Amino acid sequence: MVRPPRLRNGDVLGLVAPAGFVADRFGLDEIGATVRAMGLKPRFAPHLTDRDGYLAGADEVRAHDLMTMFADDSVRAVMAVRGGWGTARLLPLLDFAAIRAKPKLFAGFSDNTALGLALARAGVMSIHGPTAATSWPAASWESFRQIAFEGAMPTYAVPVRDGTGLGGRGIGVKTFHGGKARGRLLGGNLAVLSALVGTPYLPDFDGAILFLEETNEAEYRIDRMLTQLALAGVLGKLAGVVFGQCTHCDNPDGGYSNFTVYEVLDRRFASLGIPAFQGLMIGHIAGQISVPQGAMAEIDADAGTLRLLEAAVA
């Protein structure tokens, strides 16, 4: 895996919209203020507010914006302004050999999983983490700063929730199968990842630690997507699994009328016989952490921790 250069104060950050558009120029003002607060200089792609249905312009336009940022020597790194849908449509239009020859750090999550996985397939590390338009609370900024600026290798732990009940009811980790494992971190949004199965843009998951996150998906859809990964042979190759947060994936009917999302995950991952747990701050949540796509890491499924073993940047 190629590690792109780290960010430094005063660097130019290229801002792109591989999927959805920014509603108006006032949104760009807010994004620019956020980037400047990071100590960076924002460079907006020309078509962030373009619209082609739910997309930020035609596929060729968005791909051209992205490749222009990767080719511009004055741009140090590239960040998506938001997710949505449409990033996978760009993959055949991108020159991954050129990106690998002059790698730059790319950051984004949700639909941007498609680009992060394709970059991993090309051998380039990236960050699965906040987009420029997200809220950036202190925990998210600190995680991104450590990974992208410092090249740090922190240990992330499932947070302990406040709880007053007996028996450790405030503990947030859900362990599906205990133990420790080492491997390369590969994953992202479950729906986007599963949709890349059968394409030439999915990396090899042999010996990998799969990390996942999802939002606004019913339990049966989570089950369906995980089943697809199992039938495609992806789950059988893994060394371990980390499921972050499944936001708004709770059973809408309540009671015992359905599997809970935790039952779905438990039934799927426990049977793999490899370390697997849920609860890290990965996904569509405030305070999400930055996960280096393609970096070596170690997980402890009993403790609910993920420890990076190499830096994501050079």
The residues assigned a catalytic role are 110, 213, 284
Please give the DSSP secondary-structure letter assigned to residue 48. Answer: T
Q: Sheet containing 41-44: which strands, arranged edge to edge?
A: 41-44, 12-16, 77-80, 105-108, 126-128, 291-293
Whole-angstrom CA distances from 14 to 28, 72, 95 are 13, 9, 17
Closest by alpha carbon to 183, among 4, 1, 33, 36?
1
**Strand spans (E) along the chain:** 12-16, 41-44, 77-80, 105-108, 126-128, 155-157, 174-177, 180-189, 209-215, 240-247, 276-278, 291-293, 296-300, 305-308
Instruction: Give every CB contact of residue 20 below 8 A, 6+ residues apart in sequence.
Output: 54, 55, 56, 82, 83, 84, 85, 86, 111
The whole-angstrom separation of Cα 190 and Cα 211 is: 9
Q: What are the beta bridge partners of residue 14?
A: 43, 78
- Which alpha helices (H) appear in the chain, and where do they start and end? 25-37, 59-71, 96-101, 113-121, 138-144, 190-195, 219-231, 261-270
Distance of CA 142 to the CA centre of its chain: 16
- Whose structure tokens read 């410092």? 150
